[in-house]
């Protein structure tokens, strides 16, 4: 046994398996048509950030009919929260993101490449760590926090690069006997990479989003296993994504600077690196500049925000697609009815610098999405939301589901549907005049009309109003009223001779509309009146009079 093997045996006494055993346990994936394998790999902090949802969505879209799995990176126990795993799974599921493999709950998973919870993969990491020690690519380091801080200060004073490398790597070549003695004394140690890199050499890779990236090679002896034997992100990434057969690593671009470390780890482990796709963060416009959406400052950074406001998950997804792929909006125009899963998503069409997130735009997109939903779906989703966030509204909507659905049916035409509702929290206002409990009964008549004329219109209408009229008869009756009251029956006539009339048919309908609904602007008034019924229409007209 040479020194390296002796060191490996000393550090990993209980480890008998080899990397080959591991690779056999996780056979290569069969990808007959070049299917992609991607993964979403969050920490179970429970908090689903809009950026996390975005990355998860991109991973899901990139995999398409291939495999997208969920791996939980729970190596940082400090950040973990109870229910973190469930929170993330359910949060993503609400946005239509489900996984083919991986974690399905805090203690459950599916798929042949597990465990998908990093804390359950300890032995696996040890196997590969041991092999690196055997190959001379890893060594134990006993430096304490204090010693490292001291070293950092010295490096600063000498204007050297900070870190643990080259001549600064004090534990790189400790004699075997010393290592043995220190371990026997119970000294704690981490396992470090013995980096073969040279900073005067370049490494490069082709990023699927950002294009060719070239950086100096890594020379840092980064930590592979922490004192408690838990791997760092870097080491776990190289081991897991190899064993799990990930073909495309789609992750936040804060990892770009670590890519040289990762490429080196793949190299020393003898693995082929995956394709990297580094996704830019979602940005927000502020004071004419752009900044990252912040978990601390921006409520809209949390996915929970969209639920509370009542944005349908479909709207959020649709909006994220518009900021994810520059050609999505054109595709949507050409395919207004298509399921967005049919959109040919491309990593190369992603923004390299960071897409701008704009709530106003989300609202517009959402209005479009809601406008093409069937009324039954609008009712169901609005009621679901109200049940949780507006119990009074929920009570009213659910008391008579058919009535509520009929409200949402008004003007829900296939050709030019109205776009009044952007989120379920808009519904209370939108439906308010259908419910006496919600309606404030305020009516503001057009200022250019005399009070006497308003009254004349209302009393005349009370006489001709007939709930049995069809829509044409109903409108004809309003037109008939105009001339005797001094209003033009056509806007055209009025325009020809504005001095000859008090106003036109539009003003007359406006008065009726405001009396019945309190609004200047509503969907089809005939349909509204039909739904309200004769008694309430008459009552509102007389009340207004």
Note the residues at the interface with ligand GLU (CB under 6 A): 41-43, 73, 237, 249, 251-252
Of 111 and 252, CB closest to ligand GLU: 252
Of 249 and 457, CB closest to ligand GLU: 249
Helix (H) / strand (E) containing 110:
strand 108-110
Give the shortest CB-393-to-ligand GLU separation in angstroms: 38
Strand partners for 276: 249
Give the shortest CB-74-to-ligand GLU separation in angstroms: 9
DSSP track, 155-180: HHHTTPPPSSBGGG-TTTT--HHHHH
Of 320 and 478, CB closest to ligand GLU: 320
Give the shortest CB-155-to-ligand GLU separation in angstroms: 28
Of 257 and 444, CB closest to ligand GLU: 257
CA atoms in the 13 A half-sphere facing the CB of 131 = 18
Of 43 and 280, CB closest to ligand GLU: 43
Q: Distance between CA atoms of 451 and 101, rounded to whole angstroms?
A: 70
Give the shortest CB-344-to-ligand GLU separation in angstroms: 23
- Provide the b/e sequence for 316-348 (b: ≥16 CB within 10 Å): bbbbbbbbbbeebeebbeeeeeeebeebebebe
Of 73 and 221, CB closest to ligand GLU: 73
Pick from 232, 264, 227, 257: nearest CA to 137: 264
Give the shortest CB-250-to-ligand GLU separation in angstroms: 7
Give the shortest CB-278-to-ligand GLU separation in angstroms: 10
Of 73 and 207, CB closest to ligand GLU: 73
Instruction: Find the Cα–Cα–Cα–Cα dihedral 262, 265, 266, 268, rounded to 10°.
Output: 160
- Full 3-state SS string of 214-268: EEECCCECCEEECCCCCECHHHHHHHHHHHCCCCEEEEEHHHHHHHHHHHHHHHH
Where would I find the H helices in 374-445? Answer: 375-389, 391-399, 401-409, 427-431
Q: Distance between CA atoms of 388 and 385, rounded to whole angstroms?
A: 6
- CA distance to 71, 100, 489, 500, 519, per residue, from 507 (Å): 63, 60, 10, 15, 13
Of 58 and 127, CB closest to ligand GLU: 58
The residue nearest ligand GLU at its CB is 251
What is the DSSP-derived secondary structure letter of residue 288? Answer: T
Of 42 and 84, CB closest to ligand GLU: 42
Give the shortest CB-138-to-ligand GLU separation in angstroms: 21
What is the DSSP-derived secondary structure letter of residue 118? Answer: G
Give the shortest CB-118-to-ligand GLU separation in angstroms: 9
Give the shortest CB-69-to-ligand GLU separation in angstroms: 12
Strand partners for 302: 49
What is the DSSP-derived secondary structure letter of residue 117? Answer: B
């Amino acid at each position: 046994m040479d020194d390296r093997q002796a060191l490996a045996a000393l550090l990993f006494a209980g480890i008998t398996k080899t990397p080959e055993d591991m690779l056999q346990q996780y056979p290569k994936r069969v990808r007959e048509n070049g299917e992609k394998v991607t993964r979403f790999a969050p920490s179970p902090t429970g908090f689903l950030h809009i950026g996390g949802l975005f990355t998860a969505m991109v991973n899901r879209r990139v995999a398409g009919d291939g495999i997208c799995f969920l791996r939980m990176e729970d190596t940082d126990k400090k950040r973990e929260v109870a229910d973190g795993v469930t929170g993330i799974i359910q949060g993503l599921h609400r946005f239509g993101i489900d996984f083919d493999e991986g974690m399905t709950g805090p203690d459950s998973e599916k798929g042949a490449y597990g465990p998908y919870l990093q804390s359950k993969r300890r032995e696996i990491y040890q196997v590969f760590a041991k092999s690196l020690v055997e190959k001379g690519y890893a060594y134990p380091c006993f430096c304490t926090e204090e010693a490292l801080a001291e070293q950092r200060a010295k490096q600063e004073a000498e204007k050297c690069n900070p870190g643990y490398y080259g001549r600064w790597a004090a534990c790189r070549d400790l004699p075997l006997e010393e290592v043995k003695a220190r371990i026997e004394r119970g000294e704690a140690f981490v396992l470090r990479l013995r980096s073969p890199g040279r900073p005067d050499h370049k490494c490069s890779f082709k990023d699927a989003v950002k294009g060719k990236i070239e950086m100096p090679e890594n020379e840092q002896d980064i930590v592979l296993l922490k004192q408690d034997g838990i791997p760092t992100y870097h080491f776990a990434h190289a081991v897991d994504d190899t064993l799990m057969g990930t073909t495309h690593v789609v992750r936040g671009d804060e990892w770009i600077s670590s890519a040289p470390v990762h490429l080196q780890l793949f190299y020393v482990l003898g693995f082929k690196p995956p394709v990297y796709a580094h996704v830019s963060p979602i940005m927000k416009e502020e004071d004419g500049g752009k900044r990252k959406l912040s978990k601390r400052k921006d409520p809209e950074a949390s996915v929970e925000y969209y639920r509370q406001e009542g944005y349908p998950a479909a709207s959020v997804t649709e909006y994220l697609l518009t900021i994810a792929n520059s050609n999505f909006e054109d595709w949507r125009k050409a395919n207004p009815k298509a399921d967005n899963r049919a959109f040919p998503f491309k990593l190369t069409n992603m923004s390299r610098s960071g897409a701008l997130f704009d709530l106003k735009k989300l609202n517009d997109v959402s209005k479009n999405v809601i406008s093409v939903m069937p009324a039954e779906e609008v009712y169901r989703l609005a009621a679901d939301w109200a049940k949780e966030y507006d119990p009074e509204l929920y009570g009213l909507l659910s008391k008579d589901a058919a009535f509520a659905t009929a409200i949402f049916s008004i003007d829900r035409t296939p050709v030019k549907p109205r776009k009044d509702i952007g989120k379920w929290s808009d519904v209370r206002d939108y439906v308010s005049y259908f419910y006496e409990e919600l309606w404030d009964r305020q009516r503001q008549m057009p200022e250019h009309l005399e009070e006497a004329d308003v009254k004349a219109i209302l009393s005349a209408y009370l006489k001709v109003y007939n709930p049995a009229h069809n829509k044409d008869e109903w409108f004809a009756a309003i037109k008939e009223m105009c001339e005797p009251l001094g209003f033009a029956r056509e806007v055209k006539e009025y325009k020809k001779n504005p001095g000859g009339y008090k106003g036109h048919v539009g003003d007359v309908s406006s008065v009726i509309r405001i009396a019945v609904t309190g609004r200047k602007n509503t969907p089809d008034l005939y349909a509204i009146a039909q739904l309200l019924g004769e008694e309430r229409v008459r009552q509102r007209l007389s009340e207004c009079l």
